[in-house]
Amino acid sequence: MRILVLGGDGFCGWPTALHLSARGHEVTVVDNQSRRRIDEELGAGSLTPIATIEDRLDAWREVTGRTIGFHDITVGKDYDALLALLKAWSPDAVVHFAEQRAAPYSMKSARHKRYTVDNNLNATNDILAAIVESGLDIHLAHLGTMGVYGYGTAGMSIPEGYLTVKVETPDGWAEREILYPANPGSIYHLTKTQDALLFQFYARNDRLRITDLHQGIVWGTQTRETRLDPRLVNRFDYDGDYGTVLNRFLMQAAVGYPLTVHGPGGQTRAFINIQDTVRCVELALSHPPERGERVKVMNQMTECWQVRQLAQMVAGLTGAEVAHLPNPRQEADENELCVENRRLLGYGLDPITLEDGLLMEVAEIARTYAGRADLSKIPCVSCWNAERAAAAAGAG
Ligand code: NAD
Ligand code: USQ
């Protein structure tokens, strides 16, 4: 297949581009490098030393003999360039990672809220509009989030995108399938719920073939391909805005920083290893929906854990201390979560779990690069509202 990877310089996009290229697909990356500029804005870079995109692509060619193309295009702004690329290159599939993906970053200030909404919604609408205008039959696979569902399910398993409801009609009770009600917990997560409506509209109106992968929190760093050369290393975010919980705990353990559990740590979340992320995208691309079919939604996660369980696990492995801090987020301190993921398992996903020993490998990466860490960037200082900010200030 010919595959365009939007956001292919990022944490999930880069290893996905390499994986697809290694599997023999023709791959081109589109990325405006906004994530690297946000590193500068926050004064917090990747723990691993990531090469420039040019060096990454040269290294891939040297190591494997395969070429990955690159275009510096802002999806959502440079519409003509995006459309021209689709028409000139005629991809079979587009994988869409090109969004601002950190919930704390999206909640930092009005500017960050506006940037996240503007960037994410325009990126999604532009790629959809460009596919329609190109006249090509391109399958779009988007990286969505488990967070569109909210995290409280009252004992029910979260289905893959759609909920069967009973409605009263003049002829009695009837069953209907609706898009699962959206319940976002941040402006970032909110943009993903809006993306879902854009997909629903374009699938119905223009018969576009669309897959929305509702992904859990990704942990890990390296994949088979990023391990091939130091210049291919994946990014590892640990700062209070972009670092996700499990990778942060592993890094904190490596530098001797007490693990930063928000509140009692009863938040249950869905997780997936980065190696499984790249495999899931490949599986999704090999099982596209038909033209005219509704949006295909798959829950891209492999296991659920509570934050405090993760902290205990990392503390058990490394001897780290655990700290309970005021929660800067407006979220439930305790929730249960159970998720359906039968579709990707049915296509052959063989999940990597936390028990598989990979945790130690990630801890190893964190230890190797611990000297690059700036400990002042670890605290989560983005608060969801004034009340949360006051509680954090009181505790500080
Ligand atoms: P990332 O920030 O590392 O990568 C996103 C990439 O997209 C960056 O390289 C950035 O420069 C680029 N980009 C952003 N906006 C762009 C635009 N308008 N035009 C061109 N390029 C643009 O994020 P990630 O962790 O790789 O996440 C990728 C996708 O996966 C996101 O949509 C995110 O919502 C989703 N996701 C990530 C996780 C996770 O734990 N990392 C979990 C679930 C879902
Ligand atoms: N948390 C802590 N301590 C920390 C960091 C986080 O207790 O030091 C808690 C948070 O309060 C939250 C949970 O851990 O309850 C998860 O936080 P996170 O930052 O790991 O994940 P989140 O903000 O939900 O976002 C990440 C990705 C996002 C993706 C989402 C998938 O950044 O792109 O969409 O995971 S999901 O969580 O399933 O919605």
For residue range 56-96, list pLDDT tens digits in order. 999 999 999 999 999 999 999 999 999 999 999 999 999 99
pLDDT number for residue 396: 66
In tens, the pLDDT along 268-311 reads: 999 999 999 999 999 999 999 999 999 999 999 999 999 999 99
H/E element, 81: helix 79-89
Nearest CA to ligand 1 atom 42: 217
Q: How far is the CA of 50 from the centre of ligand 2 (A)?
A: 23
- Å from CA of 138 to ligand 1 middle: 21
**379 torsion bin: left (phi>0), alpha (psi -120 to 50), beta (else):** beta
Q: Is 260 in the pocket of ligand 2 (CB under 6 A)?
A: yes
Res 196 pLDDT > 70 = yes
What is the DSSP code (8-state) at residue 69? E
Pocket test for ligand 1, best of 16, 19, 30, 34 (most atoms within 8 A of CB): 34
Identity of the residue numbered 72? D
Q: What is the DSSP letter of 385?
A: S
Q: Strand (E) positions, the chain? A: 2-6, 26-30, 68-71, 93-96, 139-145, 162-169, 172-179, 209-215, 217-219, 259-262, 268-273, 296-300, 303-306, 322-325
Q: Which ligand is nearest to the CA of 334?
A: 2
- Average pLDDT score over residue span 227-237: 97
Q: How far is CA 165 from the centre of its chain?
A: 29
Q: Which two tokens stand for residue 225?
A: 């391909």
Which atom of ligand 2 is nearest the CA belonging to 262? 7
Instruction: Give the whole-angstrom CA distance, residue 40 versus residue 56.
Output: 20
pLDDT greater than 80 at residue 153 = no
Q: Does residue 157 surpass a pLDDT of 70?
A: yes
Q: Whose CA is nearest to atom 3 of ligand 2?
A: 261
Q: Which atom of ligand 2 is nearest to the CA of 301?
A: 38
User: Would the CB of 236 count as within 6 Å of ligand 1?
Assistant: no
Q: List the structure tokens of 162.
A: 């759609």
> Residue 356's pLDDT band (boundaries 50, 70, 90)?
confident
Catalytic residues: 145, 188, 192
Share above pLDDT 70 across residues of the chain, in percent, rounded to a whole number: 100
Ligand 1 lined by 35 (C-beta under 6 Å): yes
Please choose from 9, 101, 235 the residue to mutate so as to test ligand 1's pocket, defined by most ligand atoms within 8 A of CB: 101
Q: What are phi and psi of 4, to 5 degrees?
A: -95, 125
The protein residue whose alpha carbon is closest to atom 10 in ligand 2 is: 262
State in Å, rounded, how far the first CA of the chain is from the last one.
53
Angle at 248 between CA 246 and CA 251, to 5 degrees: 115
Q: Which residues pair with 261 in a beta bridge?
A: 324
With a pLDDT cut of 90, the percent of the chain lying above it is: 94
How high is the pLDDT of residue 340? Answer: 95
Cα dihedral 81, 233, 217, 321 in deg (nearest 10): -150
Contact between 295 and 200 (Cβ < 8 Å): yes
Q: What is the pLDDT of residue 219?
A: 96
| Residue minimizing CA distance to atom 32 of ligand 2 | 102
Q: What is the pLDDT of residue 155?
A: 81
Beta-carbon-side half-sphere exposure of residue 238 (alpha carbons within 13 Å): 34
Q: Is the pLDDT of residue 152 over 90?
A: no
Looking at this predicted complex, what is its ipTM?
0.99
143 φ, ψ (degrees, to nearest 5): -90, 105
Atom of ligand 2 nearest to the CA of 103: 23
Q: Please report, for the chain, the start and end positions of each structural domain, with discontinuous segments joined by +.
A: 2-395
CA of 12 to the centre of ligand 1 (A): 7
Q: What is the mean pLDDT of the chain?
A: 96
Pocket test for ligand 1, best of 4, 35, 37, 192 (most atoms within 8 A of CB): 35
Average pLDDT over residues 308-332: 96
Mean pLDDT, to the nearest integer, of 252-261? 96
Amino acid at 221: T
Our mutation pick for probing the ligand 1 site, out of 5, 6, 11, 245, counting the most ligand atoms within 8 A of Cβ, is: 11
Is any ligand 2 atom within 6 A of the Cβ of residue 216?
yes
User: Which superfamily does CATH assign the domain made up of 2-395 to?
Assistant: NAD(P)-binding Rossmann-like Domain (3.40.50.720)
Residue 363 pLDDT class (50, 70, 90 cuts):
confident
Nearest Cα residue to atom 15 of ligand 2: 267
pLDDT at 360 over 90: no
Q: Which of ligand 2's atoms lies nearest the C-alpha of 186?
A: 23
Question: Quick check: CB of 99 below 6 Å from ligand 1?
Answer: yes
Q: How many whole angstroms from 307 Cα to the centroid of ligand 2?
A: 9
